[in-house]
Chains A and B, each alone.
Chain A
Amino acid sequence: MTPDIREDSLLVAVLDGIIPPTGNLPGAGGLGLVSELQRMSRDHTKYEDVVPRAITVISRSLDSGEPDSREVEQAIREFEAADPKDFARFLEIVYLAYYSDPRVYDRIGWRTGPLQPEGHPMPPWDESILETTKKREPFWTRVE
């Protein structure tokens, strides 16, 4: 069973440490991604206990009380160095949640919704680009 992900101050601080605020957009912590992280953890075994485990490991590096952002960053770095594989999975789910958010899409100019059916327009094939490469003599090795 997937453990619950609690939206506590440490999780918010860690997420903000991973992806900080930019312009008018809050960081990954301030965006309120907990329900999305919970869904992603629940829907596939790949991520099922990744976030709670990361927070547990990171919290072990911190003193009790409210850590400041520098201490949080240091604790994340210690986690990254101690367990790069687990850290990579944690980073992956955070990036997935953040870069699936419509507010982030607005900032980066990405269209919300599925890739289909709209696709992207492209200028048609233009054969004139072949002008130079076409002049080359065949150079494949002739062998029966």
Chain B
Amino acid sequence: MTSVKTREPVDVLVMGSGASGAAVTWSLSAGGFKVVCLEQGPWVPPSSYPTNSADWQYLQRTTWDYSPNVRKLPADYPVNDEHSQIKVVMYNAIGGSTIHWTAHVPRFHPSDFRVKSLDGVAEDWPISYFDLEPYYDLNDEMMGCSGINGDPANPPRSPRQMPPLPLGPDGERMARAFDSLGWHWWPSDSHVNSTEYRGRQACNYCGPIGLNCDRGARASSDITYLPDAIKLGADVRPNSTVYEITTGPDGRATGANYYNSKGEQEFQPANSVVVAGNGIGTPRMLLHSRSRIHPNGLANSSGMVGKNLMFHVYAGATGLFNDLGSPTYRGPLANIIMSQEFYETDPSRDFKRGYTFQVGRGQGPAPTAIGNVPWGKNHHVEFDQRFGKTMGLGAIGDDLPEEINRVELDTKQTDRHGIPAPKITYRVSENSKRLLAHGVKSARKVLEAAGAHRIFENPFSTNTGWHLMGTARMGDDPGRSVVDRFGQSHDADNLFIVDGSVFVTGAAVNPTPTIQALALRTADYIRHERMDLKS
């Protein structure tokens, strides 16, 4: 029989060190709680980032691919997304997917929390934008936000820490195109430094933000929250894969069983468990943590664990220009400007809720060619028309929850430890299809106004499942939700969930700042209302 080593008990065990896990680890450590954070991936040394290698284009498609099914690194678990119209992407390391993100940080709108009341779709959140606002601000302070006040599409807010990233001649061209149509645009809020911030250097605009850099210009939780958390006493353990959240006879969480960095099984007892494994990893672990008291999986008396998976839907268009003056691969790939002209529901349109436009730049040589430039006789002409001469408009659409879209445990595939892989079932709704069709048509108008001489429409993007939301949603009704308004499980009062799983709706913006704000709010609740969890 395998012996399982039992570690010293702690106040809080956090599962996952990504955007939300790191924020909770920091906040609770600052509150004097004894915290252990278990992360299945390793620390990623900045020297290993692809931007330091001449081979970065190859790395981007292999060991730094966004899909765990392509990377197949030891920390990755397979994801069966055969029955999903959108393919899942994520990164597993200390810092989670913030190691590999583009750091675009728009906030939800107040209306996103009230879609049932306003538009008769999905459910209202049990909290409001204004409940989260102070935590958005705190998160911006920790991560460092480049941006500027005055956006008419969003509520007024505190000043950002740094001015916006420069738009460049290409970004300014797009801004004027929006102006000429009378449509909203605003510089994107970004967790990329436009100036030096807290010892991290300013961005030098090399291009692909998602590949990270050793300047520390792009925030990720391994270089923001976690160093501070460790100074405060947090024990962050890399290469530690949880395979079961354990519960006692009363159904409350008692800790977690996991494989340590040597592959040995250990038990970490804790007064409470905070799950931060993302919208796929969290339901996977809850469903895998079955027991006599929780026969359908932990925190799943409602049957809602794994259901209501949301990704965000993407479509858009790319324009070719021959008069921009400077190659469009110079400057951050993303995070230029956004438009929320079509964000809120408009009864004159044939869909509910809306989308945000994000403006993107051109890329390096191989990414320009792959998937875009035909092979054969016309290859060079087509490549030369595109390289350094493209601007893209992506519409990121509100993806309303449906129970049929879900995460389950796969009956065949497992990770290297034998833990079942997640199986994803997801179809794009009719509302989303209509919304995206509107987005493509509008994108064409903007690119025409900007002077593009050729435009390529992209009616739907497949490999964009990087926003993982809704699979353990919050709510006041224990029969229809998994956690309450503070992220506390309805079934076990010392079990908390803090990642995108708890989203009730997905809004039409990148979710990370909202995930982090929710995590900081949950941590604040534990610090002030759950002192019973502190030894």
Contacts and interface: CB of A to CB of B under 8 A. Distances in A.
Contact of A125 (B176, B194, B369): B194
Contacts of B264: none
A42 B327 CA distance: 34
Interface in A68-91: 73, 76, 88, 91
B376 interface: yes
B167 A141 contact: no
Nearest to B368: A99
B175 A115 contact: no
Chain B binding site: helix, strand, loop or mixed by DSSP?
loop
Given A19-B379, A44-B63, A108-B365, A115 B185 contact: no
Given A46-B62, A99-B366, A140 B166 contact: no
Contact of B58 (A19, A40, A109): A40
A20 B368 CA distance: 17
Q: What range describes how many residues of B lie at the interface? A: 35 or more
B163 A116 contact: no
Contacts of B154: 140
A60 interface: no
Contacts of A92: 61, 370
B48 to A, nearest CB: 12
Interface in A89-130: 91-92, 94-96, 98-100, 104-105, 108-110, 112-127, 129-130
Interface string B266-290: 0000000000000000000000000
Contacts of B70: 46
A143 B61 contact: no
A45 B58 CA distance: 13
Q: Which of B49, B118, B204 has the most CB atoms of chain A within a 10 A radius of its CB?
A: B204
Contacts of B168: 122-123
A115 B51 contact: yes
A118 B204 contact: yes
B249 interface: no
Nearest to B128: A144
B384 to A, nearest CB: 8
A113 B51 CA distance: 10
Interface string B99-128: 000000000011101100110000000001
A114 to B, nearest CB: 5
B184 interface: yes
Nearest to A131: B179
Given A92-B370, A136-B152, A119 B206 contact: yes
**Is chain A's interface secondary structure helix, strand, loop, or mixed overall?**
loop
B355 to A, nearest CB: 15
A96 B61 contact: yes
Interface in B380-401: 380, 383-384, 387-388
A95 B114 contact: no
Given A116-B213, A136-B152, A99 B109 contact: no
B303 interface: no
Contact of B330 (A116, A120, A132, A134): A120
A45 B110 contact: no
A139 B183 CA distance: 12
A17 B376 contact: yes
A143 B118 contact: yes
Interface string B35-74: 0000000000000010111111110011101000010100
Contacts of B211: 115
B347 to A, nearest CB: 13
Given A120-B330, A143-B110, A18 B207 contact: no
A133 B175 contact: yes
B418 interface: no
A132 B186 CA distance: 11
Contact of A91 (B63, B163, B375, B383): B375
B233 interface: no
Given A17-B376, A43-B62, A141 B52 contact: no
A100 B152 contact: no
B155 interface: yes
A65 interface: no
Contact of B54 (A47, A113, A121, A125): A113
Given A20-B377, A40-B58, A46-B62, A119 B366 contact: no
B204 A95 contact: no
10 shortest A-B CB distances, which residue pairs?
A: A119-B204, A120-B330, A99-B365, A44-B62, A141-B111, A99-B366, A115-B206, A119-B206, A115-B51, A132-B179
Interface of A: 17-20, 22, 40, 43-47, 73, 76, 88, 91-92, 94-96, 98-100, 104-105, 108-110, 112-127, 129-130, 132-134, 136-144
Given A96-B370, A99-B369, A116-B215, 17 more contacts: A19-B380, A46-B62, A46-B65, A76-B375, A98-B369, A99-B57, A99-B368, A112-B54, A115-B51, A115-B207, A116-B49, A117-B204, A119-B205, A120-B205, A123-B168, A125-B194, A144-B130
9 contacts: A18-B379, A88-B371, A92-B61, A99-B366, A110-B365, A114-B56, A116-B213, A133-B175, A133-B184
